[in-house]
Amino acid sequence: MPNSFENSATNHNGESSLQLWERTISQIKNSLPENDFSSWFSRLRFGGESDGRITLYLPSAFFKDKFDDSFKSIIENTASELGGRPYTVVFEIRKESSIPQYIEKTNETPNNRPSSEKPAVQKTPQVDDLMFNPSYTFESFVSGDNSSFAYNACMAIAKNPGSAYNPCLLYGGVGLGKTHLIQSIGNYVRKTTSYKVVYVTAENFTNEFIQSVNDNTLQQFKNKYRKADVLLIDDIHFLQKKGGTQEELFNTFNDLYDTGRQIVFTCDRPVEELTDITDRLRSRFARGLNIDLLPPNYETRVAILKKKCQEKGVIFSNEVIEYIASNISSNVRALESCLTKLIAYSTLLHKDISLETAKEQLKQIINSNNDASVISIDLIVKTVATYFNVSQFDLKGKSKSQSVVLPRQIAMYLCRKLTDFSTTEIGLEFGGKNHTTVMYNVQKVESKLNSSDSELSSLVAKLESQIKTEARK
C-alpha cells in the first residue's frame, strides 16, 4: 500500500490529498481484477499533489510504461470523480520506492559449466530484478503461426541456456512481442536456476557505459555484464552510430561467448539492414540463430485477445473481440490498448460493452493504427510521382536521369517508413529491384535527413502527411 507523501494540504472537500489518494486507490482496488492490482499497484507510491497534479512513484521504466499505458486513465478518472475536480497524474521512477519480491532459486548446476564455476545463489533482492516484468512469461505468450518458431527457440534457450541456440537474435516490428519473449527467457531462468541473468535495453547499456566512463567506474560496469550467465539485450538497433558502446559490447560478447554464456538480442530489423554498425559486431549478431517475428494472423489475434481478457478477468462478447481483431492487424500492443480502454470505460461507468460502444470508444486507436495497413505502395508512388511531375512508370523503372532518381529514393524511403513491406517486397514493386538497392536508396534519404537537409525534411514531411490524409479517405 502507498506509504509516503510529500504534500498533505487539504483540498476543497476539506480532505488531504493523501486521504483522497487512499480513497482513490481503494476504489480502484475494488474495480480491477485481483491479479492486476496485486502485481502492479503494490509497487506504486504516492509522491504528493499540487494544483491537481498527482505525482506517483514507480520502481522502474517497465512499471512506468505499464502505468502510462494501462492505468493512467483509471487513476485520473477515479481521483477526479472522488475529488470533485479534474486531476492529472504523472509517474516518476524512484528505484528505492519498492523492494522487489525475491524468487527462491534452486541450486541447479549448469550442465555445460564445471561446478566450481557455479554462480552464487542470490541472497538479497537486486535492483536489476526490477528490470524484469513479472507478467512477461511463456505462459502468458500466445504462440501463433507468426511466432511459434521464436517461441520454441526461446523456450529451448530458457531450459538450456548457453547450449541450445547461442547467440540468438529475435527481430521484428514494434509491438510484436520481442521484449515479452526475451524477458520470458529471463524470468524462466531466474525462477528455475541460480544463474545470474542480466536484462538491459541497448539504450540503457549505452547510457550506463557513458556514465561509467565519466565516473571512472568502468570496471564495475564491465563486471556487471561480464559476470552474467545469461545476457539479454533488447533493441540493439539503438546502437547504430554509437561506436564506443559497440566496441564495449563486442568485447563483452566475446568474453561471454567464449565461456559458453547465453546471449540473446532483439532488434527491430534484420541485421543486414542495420547501418553504422561495425562489421565485426554485425557478424556477432548474425552468428547463431536469427529469428523473424511476424505480425499475428487473424486467428492468433483473436486468441491473444481472449487470453488477455482471461488474465484481466473480464468478458467481452465475441463480436467485440472480432471487431478489434479485424481492425488492428499489425501490433499486439495496440490490441492490448483497445482492451484496456474498454475495461476502463466499462469499470467506470458500470456498463457492458456493446459493439456500438466498442466502435465509438476505439475510433481513435484504430484510426491511428491503420495508417500502416491502408497505405499502399501504389498510393505512395502515385503521390510522389504527381508531386515531382514524373510518370509512375519512370518512378518505378530503371532510368538514372536526375529528374527521377531523387523522387524514386524518396518514394522507397516512404514505403519503408509508412508501410510494413520489407525491402524485398518494395524492390519487387519497383520493377524487380533487389533488396540491397532498396536499402541503399532508403539510406541515401536517411543520411540526407540526418545531415539536417531542412528542405528535404519539409518536403518528405509534406508528402507523408498528404499520403496519410489520402489513405484515410
336 lies in the site for ligand ADP, by CB under 6 A: yes
Q: Which does 381 bind (CB under 5 to 8 A by kind): ligand ADP, Mg ion, none?
A: none
Place of cell 516518476: 92
Examine residue 332 and tell whether it contacts ligand ADP (CB under 6 A).
yes
Q: How far is the CB of 237 from ligand ADP (least distance, A)?
A: 11
64 binds, among ligand ADP, Mg ion, none (CB under 5 to 8 A by kind): none
Secondary structure (DSSP) of 207-235: HHHHHHHHHT-HHHHHHHHHT-SEEEEE-
Q: What share of the chain is helix, strand, coil (3-state, %, to 5)?
A: 60, 10, 30
295 contacts ligand ADP (rule: CB under 6 A):
no
CA distances from 18 to 47, 72, 96, 160, 348 (A): 9, 18, 20, 48, 22
For residue 136, give the 3-state DSSP assignment. Answer: coil
383 binds, among ligand ADP, Mg ion, none (CB under 5 to 8 A by kind): none
- Per the rule left: phi > 0, alpha: psi between -120 and 50, beta: everything else, 168 is beta
- Closer to ligand ADP by Cβ: residue 78 or 179: 179
d(CA 252, CA 237): 17
189 binds, among ligand ADP, Mg ion, none (CB under 5 to 8 A by kind): none
CB of 16 to ligand ADP, least distance (A): 35
Binds ligand ADP (CB under 6 A): choice among 47, 59, 162, 177: 177
Stretch that binds ligand ADP, among 188-196, 225-233, 330-338, 393-401 (CB under 6 A): 330-338
Q: What is the 8-class DSSP label of residue 10?
A: B
Q: Rounded to 5 degrees, what angle do the CA atoms 145, 234, 278 make?
A: 110
Footprint of Mg ion on residues 176-215 (CB under 5 A)? 178-179
Question: Residue 417's Cα: distance from chain center in Å?
Answer: 18
Interface residue with ligand ADP, options 40, 57, 141, 171 (CB under 6 A) = 141
Piece of the chain touching ligand ADP by CB under 6 A; list 174-182, 189-197, 247-255, 357-365: 174-182
Q: Which is nearer to ligand ADP, 141 or 205 (CB)?
A: 141
CB of 343 to ligand ADP, least distance (A): 14
CA–CA dist 250, 268 (Å, integer): 19
Rule CB under 6 A: is residue 175 a binding residue for ligand ADP? Answer: yes
Q: How far is the CB of 151 from ligand ADP (least distance, A)?
A: 8
Q: Per CB under 6 A, which of residues 298..317 are in contact with ligand ADP?
A: 304
Sign of CA dihedral 203, 205, 207, 209: negative
Q: Which cell numbers hold the place of 370?
A: 491503420
CA distances from 401 to 198, 376, 407, 414 (A): 52, 25, 11, 20
**How many Å is the maximal CA-CA distance in the chain?**
76
Residue ranges binding Mg ion (CB under 5 A): 178-179
Residue ranges binding ligand ADP (CB under 6 A): 141-142, 147, 174-180, 304, 332-333, 336
